[in-house]
């Protein structure tokens, strides 16, 4: 299947795409102010690109369960210096992880080529910004918002709901003049989903291929990996790799990850197995 990325057309076949995560986090501001926060994020982005990231995803607001929203001015102040310094100097496409139209518009003006919206372009102003650009759009599923989503983690028919949701979002974006070829779908692991929901999504991910759009999986170091393994965030690499490999087998081709080098190797092996020519029986 084809994925439009600005003027480029990517052929999404067997090769995985790795999206390296760069958080411009408040902690990095605490000791040295915004300059140091931006410096650390830029260094991290370069490091992930060197490790083999195909895209870099920059986010200025944590969307962890219970996380409080960040005012738009603060989010702009976090991501703008990073985008200003990175966009012209890094060879890989930059994605902005935001659901705020002002942040998306600023990021596009500074060279971002992908809009990653964890609310699936719920805000009509985000639809407008997207329609006025040639950006690739990552449409993620979530119910409620990060502060309240835990209360929304109830489903009668989880995969059916995801399919209805994505169908509705694709229709809305296409009506706004956006070509389907620009759209990526993401089931939103951990967003208004409990353990059983996250595991069921991985089991049945292939059912979301009905739309003929690439699937993105974001499970790196997430709570679900900790629930299964008993590990805290720093010990979740092996579990995250297992989930990525299973997701690959079920059709995911874009992976939002913290550990680019390790995920690249794990998925290289998964791809080699999936595409190896059959050998004659002895």
Binding site for ligand HH2 (CB under 6 A): 21, 23, 59, 62-64, 97, 116, 118, 138, 140, 186, 188-189, 216, 218, 256
- Please confirm, yes or no, whether 256 is among the known catalytic residues: yes
CB of 48 to ligand HH2, least distance (A): 12
Residue 149 to residue 274: CA distance in whole angstroms? 36
CB of 56 to ligand HH2, least distance (A): 12
CB of 57 to ligand HH2, least distance (A): 7
Sequential DSSP letters for 136-196: EEEEE--SS-TTTGGGG---SSHHHHHHHHHHHHHHHHHHTT--GGGEEEE--TTSS--HH
Is the CB of residue 90 less than 8 Å from the CB of residue 52? no
Q: By Cβ distance, which residue is nearest to ligand HH2?
A: 218
Nearer to ligand HH2, 105 or 114 (CB): 114
Nearer to ligand HH2, 118 or 205 (CB): 118
Residue 262 to residue 249: CA distance in whole angstroms? 17
CB of 128 to ligand HH2, least distance (A): 20
Sequential DSSP letters for 14-47: S--EEEEEEE--THHHHHHHHHHHHHHHHHHHHH
Residue 42 to residue 81: CA distance in whole angstroms? 9
- Please confirm, yes or no, whether 222 is among the known catalytic residues: yes
CB of 80 to ligand HH2, least distance (A): 18
Residue 101 to residue 93: CA distance in whole angstroms? 20
Residue 14 to residue 250: CA distance in whole angstroms? 12
Q: Token match 């942040």: residue? A: 103
CB of 188 to ligand HH2, least distance (A): 6
3-state secondary structure of 96: strand
Selected catalytic residue, list 193, 222, 250, 253? 222
Query: In terms of Cα–Cα distance, which of 153, 149, 30 is closest to 99?
Result: 149
Nearer to ligand HH2, 81 or 259 (CB): 259
Nearer to ligand HH2, 81 or 190 (CB): 190
Nearer to ligand HH2, 64 or 275 (CB): 64
Nearer to ligand HH2, 23 or 133 (CB): 23
Residue 101 to residue 104: CA distance in whole angstroms? 5
Where in the sequence numbering do the catalytic residues fall? 222, 256
């Amino acid at each position: 299947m084809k994925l439009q990325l600005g003027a480029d057309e990517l052929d999404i076949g067997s090769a995985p795409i790795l999206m390296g995560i760069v958080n411009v986090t408040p902690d990095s501001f605490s000791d040295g102010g915004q300059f140091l926060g931006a410096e650390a994020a830029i260094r991290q982005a370069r490091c992930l690109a060197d490790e083999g990231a195909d895209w870099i995803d920059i986010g200025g607001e944590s969307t962890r369960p219970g996380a409080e929203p960040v005012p738009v001015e603060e989010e702009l102040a976090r991501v703008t210096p990073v985008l200003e310094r990175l966009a012209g100097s890094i060879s890989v496409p930059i994605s902005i992880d935001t659901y705020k139209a002002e942040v998306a518009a600023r990021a596009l003006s500074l060279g971002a080529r992908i809009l990653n919206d964890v609310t699936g372009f719920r805000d009509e102003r985000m639809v407008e910004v997207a329609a006025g650009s040639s950006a690739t759009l990552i449409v993620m599923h979530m119910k409620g918002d990060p502060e309240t989503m835990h209360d929304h983690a109830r489903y009668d028919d989880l995969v059916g709901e995801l399919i209805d949701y994505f169908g509705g979002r694709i229709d809305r974006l296409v009506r706004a003049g956006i070509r389907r070829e620009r759209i990526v779908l993401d089931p939103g692991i951990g967003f208004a989903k409990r353990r059983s929901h996250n595991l069921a999504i991985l089991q049945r991910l292939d059912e979301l291929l009905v739309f003929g759009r690439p699937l993105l999986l974001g499970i790196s170091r997430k709570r679900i990996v900790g629930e299964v393994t008993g590990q805290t965030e720093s010990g979740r690499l092996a579990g995250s790799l297992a989930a990525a490999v299973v997701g690959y087998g079920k059709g995911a081709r874009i992976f939002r990850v913290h550990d680019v080098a390790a995920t690249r190797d794990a998925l290289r092996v998964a791809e080699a197995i999936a595409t190896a020519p059959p050998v004659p029986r002895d």
